Structure 1
Amino acid sequence: MMLAVIVLTGCGDKEVSYTDTGMAAIESLDYTGALEAFDSAEEAGENMRLILRGRGMVYMAQLRYDEAIDAFTQALNLSTGVPESLDYDLNYYLAAAYYKAGRLEDAHGVYDAILTLKSGEYNAHYLRGIVSLEMGDYESALEDFRKAISLNDGDCDMIIDVYQILAAQGYKEAGRDIISECIASHSDISDYDYGRFEYYLGNFDSAKTYLENADKGDSAQITLFLGRTYEALGDYNYAISLYNTYLDKNHNAPNIYNQMGLCQMKMERYAEALSSFQAGMNTEDKSIMQTLKYNEIVAYEYMREFRTAANLMKDYIALYPDDAAALREYEFLKTR
């Protein structure tokens, strides 16, 4: 049986629960260790709902969606009957498991149930909109997206997410309409957000102007979008100079390293792109590690180092088995 972790603090020793140990293992992608920790948590009599939640998260990561659905459902069945934050959290996970399993109607039904209890849950409207769109119900999806944006006070990140979702499903003009509606109804949009909107609307010269005038408080994101804008205008060299200038002072910026690598790929400077992706992987921020690992493999492939690419892809699939595109690419690499 796994031993609970002891954390030394200034005020004495603090025992970390097996459940916490399991959740930490999930974060480090150690799914076997996580399940062992949750088994130990059950033996120790820890909160069963949290244990089942953790197991469900592991099963999701392992593509064992039916088992994930069972785990989340069992956890919900242990509810007191009075909805609390954990119940909503579990329902969101259950809906996600249904969605991943291709059970769109069941996922839709869970979001219906959430919104019956809390009609102001903008995230449930947003996610139900995604499901409706995949079910072919464009009008209902658009209604949910607009409701989510309204409830979330016109959040610019959500508006851009909605645009990208609609564009990916062939409704780019509808996405642009939503951006335009936001611009028309809000007078307090920052130069940064205005620049992002103009970028997605395809108005790159205007986007460049707004982004160059933006408050540099969030300079990483501004640099990212300004660089992308220059790339869209065909000025790759200036985009690279922007990324390098930022990285000279801020090394912990994996998104900037990744975008610089993508720009270098467009310029067919594959060895430099590889170095950029690997530099991003070596930062403290691991939030886009999956993207960087995949792009590293693509760089090796363009450098015609197929054996290295295939070996890395094998490791990648072990970590991220739900990446269907990567699985197809691996089959190709094995033949090279």
Structure 2
Amino acid sequence: MNKKKFTYITALTLLSFTLMTGCTNERKENQTAYRQIGINAMESGDYAGAVDAFNSALGQCIGKITENELDICYYKAAAQYAGGDPAGAVDTYTAIIDYDKKAADAYYLRGCVYLKQGNTEGAVSDFDEAVKNNSSDYELYVNIYENLSAYDMTEKGEEYLNKAFDIKGNSAEDYAWRGRIYYDLGQYDNAQTELKSALDKESVIANLYIAQVYEAQGDPENAETYYQNYVNSGSADSQAMNALGEIEMAKGNYSGALTYLEQGIAMENVTNRRELMQNLIICYEYTSDFNSAWNVVQEYVQVYPDDASAQREYIFLKNRMEQTAPVENTEEAVTEDTQTVEDTQTPEEAQTPEEAQTPAQ
């Protein structure tokens, strides 16, 4: 799947220009500069400013539409959508499609917006067009499945997963994707078969997928082995680190879990920050590092203010920090710390990944 998914376009800005001035070297440089300004604004959360910058970038080169203009428009789409204008995003993706009837990314993205708006019929129609125009992209099928599942349309999403098997192929990537899809379908034996073939062809990502399969089958030892292989490959992500942390938590090895969780939260691209922070709070408490638990929970309640259990945890830790600060390093305080954690959540309650992801009550 093309990674230029998260972007935005205003149709009239791009498509109604006539071939007049073209794009001189100076204008190209200006376009590149405005594009970067827009990206920087997006990263800082200034979506309105990003849209303005992308508009300025598009205004530099009036004439023939190139990949540069489309790239900028896709970025603009992301900024507009993130800024709270889904209707505008729909209009924009429609304009892209009008320009290129085979724009699979635009169909997919418009379908995602429709889905969030509750227009499931429009979403499914667009997803169908997306796979029609990009039928050999495993990731597209999986992304559609995940989007539909998030909106309680898992059965419909599984139809797309099954269509992906038509791709065929015997490369390491083919085997890995098919294994991942069988995993999503709950067909674990088939998943193992495909993923072992992928591993034989030296697929790195297959280590992650087969670890998830073993975990789903209740085999934490094999799961840990393959998660660790994935980490050792240098390709590990925050999801794998969290999974390894939860395996150690299930063993009661909270200090060992922290090694993985802290690495995960420190990564450049963290896609599961909430789960990592929840587990960090638990592990810091079980290791009697209440200062660190307090630091994490303060950040957590700011980012996720609707989490009632975290609010209770915040109050518990706040009161504890105030009460124990004068004797923090005494043997009495350590005993009290341990007892407080035991009163808050027993080790047995943290033995499963699902429960371990919730901060102590």
Question: What percent identity do the matched residue pairs reach?
Answer: 27
Counterpart residue number, 2:325: none
- TM-score, structure 1 length as denominator? 0.72
Stretches of 4+ moved more than 6 A in 1? 313-317
Equivalent in 82, 93, 96 of residue 114 of structure 1: 96
Cα deviation digits, residues 295-318 of structure 1 (max 9, x gap)? 55333201224542453577799x
Please say if residues 66 and 101 of structure 1, whose CA atoms lie closer than 8 Å, have aligned partners that are also in contact: yes
Counterpart residue number, 1:22: none
Q: Does 1:253 align with 2:236?
A: yes
Please say if residues 224 and 259 of structure 1, whose CA atoms lie closer than 8 Å, have aligned partners that are also in contact: no
Q: Does 1:61 align with 2:43?
A: yes
Shift of 1:242: 2.4
Report the residue type matching 1:144 in the other structure: D
Shift of 1:202: 1.3
Please say if residues 53 and 75 of structure 1, whose CA atoms lie closer than 8 Å, have aligned partners that are also in contact: yes
Counting only pairs closer than 5 Å after superposition, residues 128-277 of structure 1 correspond to structure 2 as 128-183=110-165, 185-188=166-169, 190-245=174-229, 247=231, 250-251=233-234, 253-254=236-237, 256-265=240-249, 267=251, 269-277=253-261
Distance 2:75 2:298 in 1: 28
Count of residue pairs brought into register by the alignment: 281
* Cα 1:188–1:267 shift into 2, 3 Å: same
SS in 2 for 1:47: helix
Distance 1:56 1:110 in 2: 17
Structure 2 residue runs without a partner (length 5+):
1-25, 318-361
Shift of 1:287: 5.3
Counting only pairs closer than 5 Å after superposition, residues 10-29 of structure 1 correspond to structure 2 as none
* Cα 1:132–1:253 shift into 2, 3 Å: same
Larger RCO (alpha carbons 8 Å, 6+ apart) = 2
Distance 2:62 2:244 in 1: 51
Larger Rg: 2
Please say if residues 198 and 207 of structure 1, whose CA atoms lie closer than 8 Å, have aligned partners that are also in contact: yes
SS in 1 for 2:64: coil
Please say if residues 277 and 295 of structure 1, whose CA atoms lie closer than 8 Å, have aligned partners that are also in contact: no
Counting only pairs closer than 5 Å after superposition, residues 47-86 of structure 1 correspond to structure 2 as 47-86=29-68
Please say if residues 191 and 214 of structure 1, whose CA atoms lie closer than 8 Å, have aligned partners that are also in contact: yes
Structure 1 residue runs without a partner (length 5+):
1-43, 318-323
RMSD across aligned positions (CA): 3.1
* Cα 1:48–1:247 shift into 2, 3 Å: closer
